[in-house]
Structure 1
């Protein structure tokens, strides 16, 4: 169950509509069923990258089993291109953190992914 959290100071007219679109695109980028995603979009009043407060983003992608150096490069391009296209945030104005915490360290339905997979 991937968890994707976007923080941005870019202007978003309708956060819910954007989050729904971002969920669909995240599913496509990660090649995971949308029904298994948790997507959060958190508008923030200020974000400074490279010493300026121009529109920027910080993206955290937590996923089990599909993060690797080659996949992360592909995922980074997909997410950066989407945020550039939809929010107008240039690729050099964002940071993406990929994390695979391991099955024992992700909880769901009152237990862990390791227990559910057993």
Structure 2
């Protein structure tokens, strides 16, 4: 059930048409999760400034049941940062990525929770 949420000052007109689809692919691959469970969302046109300097920047939240942790988050951070630079022009040093490891009992889906599904 991975969830990728990006808030960015990149204008909606500069978000490629396939950005969400390509982001789902990237997140599924790096986390080792089925693509069918990954949700990606982007909030463009945010009033944001990084360190007093104008330019593309963002904040990302990656939520997942498992597949996160101290060592693997370094890999995930690199993969996601590379994707944001390539697709949106957001440099790695202008984007925070927060990783949130969710408890499967606290995530509802299909009328139950992942505690019952997994």
- TM-score by length of structure 1 reads 0.89
Cα displacement (A) at 1:8: 1.1
Equivalent residue number for residue 13 of structure 1:
14
Deviations 1:77-111 (A, max 9, x none): 10001101111111110000000121111111122
Cα displacement (A) at 1:13: 3.3
Cα displacement (A) at 1:52: 2.9
Equivalent residue number for residue 22 of structure 1:
23
| Residues 57 and 89 in structure 1, CA contact (< 8 A), matched pair in contact too | yes
Q: Unaligned stretches of 5+ in structure 1?
A: none
Matches within 5 A, 1:95-114: 95-114=96-115
Give me the CA root mean square deviation.
1.6
Rounded Cα–Cα distance in structure 2 between residues aligned with 1:45 and 1:59:
13
- TM-score by length of structure 2 reads 0.89
Deviations 1:2-59 (A, max 9, x none): 1111111124535542111111122122221111101111113311222334210111
